[in-house]
Structure 1
C-alpha cells in the first residue's frame, strides 16, 4: 500500500514539474516574439538588401534564387514584384528585398524588384 502511495505522489510531482516547465518556456517564447515585433514597429525604417543568383523556379506566388554558394532562397509575394515578368528560369538575377532570408525558414519581408544581372 505504501509503495502505491509513493508511486502516485512521485507521478503527480513529475507531471506537475512537466506542466510547470512547459508553461514557463512557452511564455518566454511568446514574450520574445512580441518584443521582436514591437522593435520592428518602433524602428520605422527597413533596410534594403540584395542577393544575386540564378532563378531556379518561378510560380504565381513565389520564386527560388540559388546564390553562388549553391544556397537556395525562396521569396514569396502577394503582388508580382517589379521586373519578375522579364526574367525566366536559368537567368542570373539580382533581387532587392527588405526583411530576412534563410535557406530553411520562410521569407519574412517584401521583394522590391528583380533585375537581370549583367
Structure 2
C-alpha cells in the first residue's frame, strides 16, 4: 500500500514538473539602444503656442481654457518664464513643446507664458 501511494505521489510530482516547465515562456530582450544626447532643440521638438484664459495656477501646474472652452493643464518642474506676472482670469499665450490633450497628462516643456495684449 505504501509503495503504491509513493508511486502515485511521485507520478503526480513528475507530471506537475513537466507541465510547469511547459508553461514557462522565454522573454526576448530588445537590443534597441536609445540615444539621448541631452540636446532638446535638435529639430525634433517643435515650439507651439496656445492662446487661452488662465483658470488655475499652482506650484507645479496651471490650467488654461481655450476659445472652445477646452481646458488644458500644463505641468512643470521649474517655473516657466513669465508665469510670475500672470493671475487667474488673464488671457495668455503659452509657448511649449510636446503634446497637450484634455484627457492625457501634458508631455513636454513649457517655454514661456505671456499676457496677451
Number of corresponding residues: 88
Matched with 1:108 is 107
Provide the rounded CA distance (Å) in 2 between the counterparts of 1:63 and 1:73: 8
User: How far does residue 44 in structure 1 lie from its aligned partner after superposition?
Assistant: 3.4
User: How far does residue 40 in structure 1 lie from its aligned partner after superposition?
Assistant: 9.1
Matched with 1:65 is 64
Structure 2 unaligned spans of 5+: 1-22
List 4+ stretches of structure 1 deviating above 2 A: 38-41
For the aligned residue pairs, the C-alpha RMSD in angstroms reads 2.6
Q: Please list the CA deviations of residues 72-102 of structure 1 after superposition, one character each: whole Å capped at 9, or x if unmatched.
A: 0000000000000001000000000000000
Q: Please identify which structure carries the higher helix content.
A: 1
For 1:90, what is the secondary structure of its paired residue?
coil
Structure 1 unaligned spans of 5+: 1-15, 21-30
The TM-score with structure 1 as length reference comes to 0.64
Q: Does 1:78 align with 2:77?
A: yes
Q: Please list the CA deviations of residues 37-76 of structure 1 after superposition, one character each: whole Å capped at 9, or x if unmatched.
A: x5998x9321000000000000000000000000000000
For 1:89, what is the secondary structure of its paired residue?
coil
Q: Check 1:49–1:40 CA distance in 2 against 1; reply closer, same or farther (3 A cut).
A: farther
